[in-house]
Structure 1
Amino acid sequence: MLSIKVPASSANLGPGFDCLALALKIYCLFEVQRKEEPGVTISLSPKGSQDLSLGEENLFFQTFKRVLHLRGLEPPGLRVRIDNSIPLGRGLGSSSTAVVAGIVAADRTGNLNLSKEEMFNLAVEIEGHPDNVAAALLGGLTISYREEGGGFRALAFPVDSGLQVILLVPPVSLSTQKAREVLPQKVDFSDAVYNLSRTAALVSRLLTGQIGELKEVTRDRLHQRYRAPLYAQSMRLLERVRQEVDCGIAISGAGPSVVCLLGSSEVGLERRLKDLVREEFGEFEPISTQVDNHGVVVGSN
């Protein structure tokens, strides 16, 4: 049996649209076994997301088949058990975990010997954007970019365990496609500079451990305000927290979850944040976690 453990991720982090992401210690575990008959049999753990597809349209299996077909191989039959702890459709990279796991399973099953770079580019092709798949595959803080020749590259850096991540997860979901449809084709030059400067400063602070000074460098002008009508309550929560708590805060990926970044020693700030959410935004579930610096982990027995 092959086991593939893939972390959730929070992309953009405010200014780093489509290039920054953090891997998180919240996981989706795929246990994969071959079977004689063709097709796939999928089961979910009792606590797993019951909305996941159990048929051949499951994103994991679709990815698995696609990668093998690209190498001229027919996919074998599979039994797959999924144990998922990642809220679906909440901007936490749940689809990226399925894509990365499908690529890894195809690589191991078909003896493809794919490099991490090849896996990453396959994942970007399937997922459509690089940030979440980079974090799911590589772990840590990832920076993704497209080369002039057309391929994608990703850089991954470990993040100090002193960074505490608090996710504020609403009960409603939002499709990434819908969130992308509302974005403008062009942006003001001043807004681009605003985000570029904060992206550079945010990366610097995360990599040098200056995690007590993240509020200003997690601001954004490129995507959140255009998507605000899609997650109005999340934006109200974001602005309210920004007024009351000195921490980094942004919409997580395409939303509607909110991600907060603060030091693990800042117990008072964390308590104030959770109290505020409980008193004024009780529909949001706070989830405390940390950065996963390993990315996808594969085992077999």
Structure 2
Amino acid sequence: MIRITVPATSANLGVGYDTLGMAVSLHARFTFERTDELEITGCPAEFQNERNLVYVSFVDALEAWGEEPFPVRLHIETEVPVARGLGSSSTCVVAGIMAAAALTDRPVTREELVSIATAVEGHPDNVAPAILGAAVCSFTPEGELPRCLRYEVSDRLRFVTIIPPYEVHTSDARKVVPQEVPLSTAIWQMGRIAGITRGLESGDAELIAAANDDRLQEPYRAALIPDYEAIRETCLEGGAKTLWISGSGSTLMTVTDDTIVARFLQVRLRRHFPACETHILTCDTDGAQIEYL
């Protein structure tokens, strides 16, 4: 029996559309055991079958390695909400692939895990930090495997996370983003990506705030989140340095370098937005982990 723990992730980090992502301190835990018949617990009944994304990823990895799929007993315990922009699908994909390797005694590197998970997810912005931990900038050279640049995030930073009680589907969020942008917009983004990554490393919340001014996707996706403007105003008035949409939403994430500000802001948010779930998170630096039980 094995247990795999995978952190939630926040993709894009404002200006890093489809390139940046960060692992955060919410986790999903998956327990696997070989058995004679597939058994899945800990999730809604509609997913307790062979179409479960964890099991699909498990089977796909086995087949990619030339192994015959086999049934497992799978139990899921997760803190990561579904379809809220915190990488819930990536936790499932990563766990399935890692379990396939572990239960067949196949040695794999984190780089190989990122490559396989990227093939399943389509891009590495969530799966890379879920596997590697910390903040990651990813790109895939033509005809090559994904390249991942890992950035240690300062432990001074706190990420106050607001999760509204409604979904924003990735497919809808992608539809509203323009497929072509002016050269000036591309230039605007490039320098700010460097600013965000340096700010995360150094713990410079002022630098993060100055750099976090996206023109590629957030102005369009904000319209899909009814509470966006009200939450943003509440956060900035409450001492947060800046705010971004986590992944495709609906989760919003703010940044502060002061734990007291983070606590007071969480109280303020719970009072003004009682239907929203709020957390004070740190960056997860470990990434996906596996243990034998």
Q: Is 1:22 matched with 2:22?
A: yes
Q: Distance in 2 between matches of 1:78 and 1:101?
A: 13
Q: Distance in 2 between matches of 1:294 and 1:244?
A: 30
Q: Distance in 2 between matches of 1:195 and 1:279?
A: 35
Aligned-pair distance for 1:160? 2.2
**Superposed counterparts of 1:243-282, under 5 Å:** 245-263=239-257, 265-267=258-260, 269-282=261-274
User: Cα distance 1:178–1:150, how it changes in 2: closer, same or farther (>3 A)?
Assistant: farther
State the SS of the aligned residue for 1:4: strand
Aligned-pair distance for 1:180? 1.3
Q: 1:146 is matched with which residue: 140, 144, 147?
A: 140
Q: Distance in 2 between matches of 1:190 and 1:76?
A: 53
2:76 aligned partner: 82
Deviations 1:108-165 (A, max 9, x none): 1223322221210111111112111011100011111111334211122322221111
Contact persistence 1:217–1:248 (CA under 8 A): no
Aligned-pair distance for 1:7? 0.3
**Superposed counterparts of 1:21-170, under 5 Å:** 21-37=21-37, 40-44=38-42, 50=44, 53-170=47-164
Aligned-pair distance for 1:246? 4.2
Aligned-pair distance for 1:282? 3.3
Q: Distance in 1 between matches of 2:194 and 2:57?
A: 34
Q: Is 1:12 matched with 2:12?
A: yes
Instruction: Give 5+ residue unaligned stretches, structure 1.
Output: none
Q: Distance in 2 between matches of 1:190 and 1:261?
A: 27
TM-score, length basis structure 1 = 0.91
Deviations 1:51-83 (A, max 9, x none): 771111110000000111112211111000111
State the SS of the aligned residue for 2:255: strand
Contact persistence 1:213–1:248 (CA under 8 A): no
Instruction: Give 5+ residue unaligned stretches, structure 2.
Output: none
User: Which amino acid is 2:19 matched to?
Assistant: C
Q: Is 1:294 matched with 2:286?
A: yes
Q: Distance in 1 between matches of 2:213 and 2:46?
A: 33
1:2 aligned partner: 2
Aligned-pair distance for 1:290? 0.8
1:197 aligned partner: 191
Q: Distance in 1 between matches of 2:139 and 2:233?
A: 30
Moved more, 76-85 or 172-181: 172-181
State the SS of the aligned residue for 1:131: coil
User: Cα distance 1:181–1:217, how it changes in 2: closer, same or farther (>3 A)?
Assistant: same
Aligned-pair distance for 1:240? 4.7
Q: Distance in 1 between matches of 2:127 and 2:202?
A: 24
User: Cα distance 1:111–1:141, how it changes in 2: closer, same or farther (>3 A)?
Assistant: same
Q: Distance in 2 between matches of 1:124 and 1:26?
A: 21
State the SS of the aligned residue for 2:227: helix
Deviations 1:5-37 (A, max 9, x none): 000011111101111111111110000000123
Aligned residues between the structures: 293
User: Cα distance 1:145–1:235, how it changes in 2: closer, same or farther (>3 A)?
Assistant: farther
User: Which amino acid is 1:285 matched to?
Assistant: E
State the SS of the aligned residue for 2:226: helix
User: Which amino acid is 1:117 matched to?
Assistant: E
User: Cα distance 1:262–1:160, how it changes in 2: closer, same or farther (>3 A)?
Assistant: same
Contact persistence 2:158–2:262 (CA under 8 A): no
State the SS of the aligned residue for 1:114: coil
TM-score, length basis structure 2 = 0.93
Q: Is 1:207 matched with 2:205?
A: no
Aligned-pair distance for 1:211? 2.9
Identity %, equivalent residues:
34
User: Cα distance 1:266–1:109, how it changes in 2: closer, same or farther (>3 A)?
Assistant: closer
